[in-house]
Structure formats: structure tokens, C-alpha cells
Amino acid sequence: MNIVVLVKQVPDSGAERTLSADFSVDRASSSNVINEMDEYAIEEALKIKEAHGGEVTVLTVGPAGATDSIRKALSMGPDKAVHVQDDALHGSCAVATSKVLAAALRTLSPDLILSGAESTDGRVQVVPHMLAELLGVAALTGARKLTVDGSQLTVERQTDEGYEVVTAATPAIVSVWDTINEPRYPSFKGIMAAKKKPVQALTLGDLGISGDEVGFAGATSQVLEFNKRPARTGGAKVVDEGNGGEQLVSYLASEKFV
């Protein structure tokens, strides 16, 4: 099976994050890492390859510095990578990013596209759906479990209430949550091999996309202002006046912990 995993480089969600003066994600002042959810997508791709054979390609759209994340992704085990890099991409919205990813995916003709269900920087969760639309393939999103049987895909789709079982035939795109597996650590051999794996560089020109379709110029949405996240407030206090247990359970239920 020809699998492509979408890997995005994001600012480390564990560190202080902010926006640049132009309201794009500030990538300069924090350390950048693989979007955490994408590591689960890589793991799932590697497991499918190990069980069914095939090839795993990492696809990244991002600036030059994203090569660090591509190398890290390759050290986990994928076979090769494609890096779409172009200065005109700076400031791209989800629609434009999807257009670029779709163009790159057409050059790879994957049976299965895997991605994280969201990125920790943008968190809009729409790119997998947009790609499905642009490529004319099925979208199985928010998976907590994926089963491959020949060309048949079965997904347990995580929802607030429980899960739905959805199926589709390849080619398809599946986005995954962090409940789907436990990503492996890059092995020593994987680390040593990563630098030797092929990374194909593509520009917008290579994909037949003009600069004004992407970046700030082609953005369908515009950030006008932003505010810092409000400081944490004290949580709910439960005072036990005989019904403390009930209050506690109803709080946990309202937060969907029980």
C-alpha cells in the first residue's frame, strides 16, 4: 500500500507560543517540533506497512527549517519524504495549504493518506476534509482505530458521545487522534539512516500553483487581532454538605470524564 503521511512542523506546544507581527504563527522565537498528532499518523502508517507491505512517504509543506522535523519523522521509519517549500507560502490559510497539499499528493498517487486530526498551532481540523474534497477521495476523520483489509478501510471515529464505525475503499484520507496508538521512539538505526533517505524538494512552480493563490495574497481568511489566552482561573470547588459525592460526579459527568 502506498501511504503518504502529512507532517506539519509546529512550535513546541509545551513552550511559550505567540504570533508574529503579521499575525502568522511565530516560528522564530520557539523551538519547532513535529505536530504531536502527526507522530500518531506516522506510527499508524508504519504499522500498516509492517502488516501489509508498501511504502510510506512523509509530505511536508513548510519553510526550510522544517527539514529538522522531516528528518525526525524519517528516523521513525518512513521510506522517503517530499518537502514543498516556497517563500510565497508564508501566511497561507487552510484552503491554500490544502490546495498545495492536494497538488503534491497528485504527484504521489497514494492509496492512503494519513494525518493528525489537528495541528497544535492552527487547530482548525479542516485540512483532511478539504483534501478529500479536492482529491475526490473519502475522508475518514478523527480515527481512534483503523483496520485495513485489502482496499477496505474501517475506522472507529471518535466523537464526544462515543464512536462511529465508518468504512471506505481506498484511496482515502484518514485523520487520527492520539488514542489510536503509541508512537515509537526513533531507533538508533533509524536515526542513522534518516539522513540518507531521499527528500524530494518541490516548489509552487513544480506543482503549477502561482504565488498569488497562496500566502497572505491568496488567503480566504484574515486575522485582524488576537488576544493572549486568559489566565487560568480557580476551578470549581465542591463543598461537602452531605451531597459532595453527587456534586463531584455531576461535575465529572459535565466534563465527560465519566
Partner 1 sequence: MTSFVESQERRDLRAAVFQLGSRYGESYFYSAAARGAKTTELWGEAAKAGYLGVSIPEEYGGGGGDIGDLAAVVEELATAGCPLLLLVVSPAIVGTIIARSGTDEQRRRWLPGLATGEARYAFGITEPDAGSNSHQIITRARRDGDDWILNGRKTYISGVDEAGHVLVVGRTEDARTGKLKPALFMVPTGAAGFEYQPIETGLVSPEKQFSLFFDDVRLPADALVGREDAGLDQLFAGLNPERIMAASQATGTARWALRKAVDYAGQRKVWDTPIGAHQAIAHPLAQIHVEVEAARLLTQKAAALDAAGDLLAAGEAANMAKYAAAEAACKAVDQAIQTHGGNGLATEYGLVQALANVRLSRIAPVSREMALNFIAQFSLKLPRSY
Does the protein bind partner 1 through residue 188 (CB under 8 A)?
yes
Does the protein bind partner 1 through residue 195 (CB under 8 A)?
yes
Does the protein bind partner 1 through residue 13 (CB under 8 A)?
no
Does the protein bind partner 1 through residue 120 (CB under 8 A)?
no
Give least dist CB 145 to partner 1, A. 23
Please say which residue, 67 or 125, places its beta carbon nearer to partner 1.
Answer: 67
CA distance 47 to 5: 13
Candidate list 192, 217, 223, 253; residue touching partner 1; CB under 8 A: 192
Does the protein bind partner 1 through residue 29 (CB under 8 A)?
no
Does the protein bind partner 1 through residue 12 (CB under 8 A)?
no
Q: Tell me the per-residue interface mask from 43 to 82 with partner 1, x by CB under 8 A, - otherwise.
A: ----------------------------xx--x-------
- Measured torsion, CA atoms of residues 173, 37, 71, 102, in degrees rounded to the nearest 10: 30
Please say which residue, 106 or 195, places its beta carbon nearer to partner 1.
Answer: 195
**CB neighbour list of residue 154: distance below 8 Å, 6 or more residues apart:** 146, 147, 165, 166, 167
Residue 209's Cβ-count burial label (10 Å; 0-12, 13-18, 19+) is buried
Does the protein bind partner 1 through residue 144 (CB under 8 A)?
no
Candidate list 73, 114, 173, 194; residue touching partner 1; CB under 8 A: 194
Cell numbers linked to 97 = 495549504
Does the protein bind partner 1 through residue 189 (CB under 8 A)?
yes
Candidate list 186, 214, 215, 218; residue touching partner 1; CB under 8 A: 186
Q: Tell me the per-residue interface mask from 199 to 218 with partner 1, x by CB under 8 A, - otherwise.
A: --------------------
Which residues are at the interface with partner 1 (CB under 8 A)? Answer: 71-72, 75, 184-189, 191-192, 194-195
